[in-house]
Amino acid sequence: MDTKQSTYTEDEPKDPKWLAQGHLYPFHSIEGRPGAHASQIIQGKRKDGVQTLHAVWFCGTGEGHHDVAIMLVDIFYEIDRVLKFPPVEENDPFEPVKNDLFTYSTPRVIADMPNRACGNPVPFIDENGRFHLWFAAFYTKESDIPEGEPQHRRDIFYQYSDDGGNTWTDPVMWSDRPGLWVRNAIVVLDDGTWLFPINDEETYIPGHDVKWSSRFAFSMDEGKTWEFDDTLYTVDRLPGAERGGMIQPSVVQLKDGTLYCMNRSHTGYITEMRSTNRGKTWSTPKNSAVPNPQSNICVIRRQYSNEATDDLLLIYNPSKKMRTPVSIARSTDGGYTWKKLFDLRKELGELSYPCMVETPDGLIHCTYTLHRMGIAHDVFML
C-alpha cells in the first residue's frame, strides 16, 4: 500500500525557455457552433522535417445540446524552423489564426450522432498508424428519444481512420454500460497492453455515499477486444457536500513499471493512486497535495527529454474553486514532490479541460478550453 504523502509548492515560479500561444478554434469560428470544449491533442506523423499533430474537441451550440459534434484540426510545423526562431506574440482569440510557426487545417466534423449530443473525444494512433477515436453520445432534452430508451442513457462509440483522419468508418457502439464515460488518453504499457482510464458516474457506492468513480479497461490485442475491470475506485464525500467522489483518471507508467494515476475530484485536491501490477489492483485513492477545483487534469511522463527518469508534467488549475489559471507543475520523483512551474494563461473566466503531449523535438504541446468558446494551442520548452 502506498502511504507516502505527496508535497506541493508554488514558490519561485520558473518560466519556460520558449513559449508560443495560438488558437485551434478562435471564438465564433463557425456560425452556429459557438461552444467548444474538452480538447485532446496527440502526436501524428513526423516526415521530411515536418511534425504533425491532431487535436479533437466537441463543438456546437453548447455542451449537452443535440447539435454538438466532434471536430478535428491537424497541426503542422517545420521542426528546424520552430526551434531556430522565437515564437510570435499571442494571437487574438477573436481573429483567425495567424501564427507563422504553426499551420492549422480548417476545423472539420468527424463524428456526429443525429438526435444525440457528442462529448469527450479520446483520440489514439497506434504503432501501425491507425487513428482511433472514442467519444460519448447521449440523449438531451431536445432529442426525440426512442420509446423504451432511458432519457439519461449515454453510450461510448468508436470509429477509426486509416488515412490520417481524412475519412472514417461509421461509428459503432463500444460500450453501453450504464454510467460509463471517457476523457483521458490511452496508455500503452511496457508489455503492450492498452490501458484505457475511464470513469463511472451512475453506480452508487454505499460505503462512500458517492456515484463518481474511476475504473479501467484493458486490451491485450491492440484494441480488438476489451476487458472491463468492475472495481470502482473513489473517495468519500466530504461532510456537508452535495456531491462527492472522483472521475477522469489520467495515468502514466513510471520507469520501474509502477502506474501512477491522478484524478479529478470533489475533495478540493487531485486524488492519486498507484498500481504495481499493471492496473489489476490499485492502492486506496487519497488526496494528493495538488489543488483541484473539480475539473479535468492531464499528467504525462517525459519520454524524449528524460527517458530514463520519472520526470512528470501536470497541466491543471491550481485552485480549489476556480478553473483559472491553467498552469504547469513538475515532479521529478514520480509524483511524490510537485512544484508549480508557471501559469500558461491567467485571466477571468474558464480555462479548463487541458491536455498535453511531448514531441521528439522536446516541445510540449497543450490544448485547453477558452471560456467555452475557443480552443487554445500553447507550446513551450523547459
Which of the two residues, 201 and 1, has the higher pLDDT score? 201
User: Does the structure show a pLDDT above 60 at 5?
Assistant: yes
pLDDT in tens, 338-361: 999 999 999 999 999 999 999 999
% of the chain surpassing 90 pLDDT: 76
Question: What's residue 91's pLDDT?
Answer: 62
Question: What's residue 306's pLDDT?
Answer: 64
Q: For 38, how many CA atoms within 13 A lie in the half-sphere containing its CB?
A: 24
Give phi and psi for 81, each to the nearest 5. -65, -40
Supply the pTM of this predicted model: 0.95
Average pLDDT over residues 202-221: 95
pLDDT in tens, 84-140: 877 765 666 666 555 678 999 999 999 999 889 999 999 999 999 999 999 999 888
Question: What's residue 90's pLDDT?
Answer: 61
**Separation CA 289–CA 291 (nearest Å):** 6
Q: Interior CA angle at 57 toward 114 and 177, to 5°?
A: 60
Q: For 378, how many CA atoms within 13 A lie in the half-sphere containing its CB?
A: 26
Question: What's residue 141's pLDDT?
Answer: 79
Single-letter code of the amino acid located at 237: R
List alpha helices for 293-367, DSSP H. none
What would the CATH number be for the domain defined by 7-381? Answer: 2.120.10.10
Question: What's residue 242's pLDDT?
Answer: 87
Question: What's residue 377's pLDDT?
Answer: 95
Instruction: For residue 344, give the C-alpha cell.
Output: 500558461
Single-letter code of the amino acid located at 157: F
Which of the two residues, 247 and 140, has the higher pLDDT score? 247
| 8 Å CB contact between 7 and 337 | yes
**Separation CA 59–CA 30 (nearest Å):** 10
| 8 Å CB contact between 51 and 121 | no
Range with the lowest mean pLDDT among 93-97, 153-157, 218-222, 245-249? 93-97
**Separation CA 50–CA 63 (nearest Å):** 34
> What average pLDDT is seen over the chain?
93
User: Does the structure show a pLDDT above 70 at 329?
Assistant: yes
Single-letter code of the amino acid located at 238: L
In angstroms and rounded to an integer, the radius of gyration of the C-alpha atoms of the chain is: 20
| 8 Å CB contact between 270 and 288 | yes
**Separation CA 22–CA 317 (nearest Å):** 19
- Taking CA atoms, 46 is separated from 51, 80, 131, 212, 381, in Å, by 4, 12, 15, 39, 19
* Distance of alpha carbon 65 from the chain centroid: 21
Average pLDDT over residues 268-285: 98
**Separation CA 318–CA 326 (nearest Å):** 7
User: Does the structure show a pLDDT above 70 at 224?
Assistant: yes
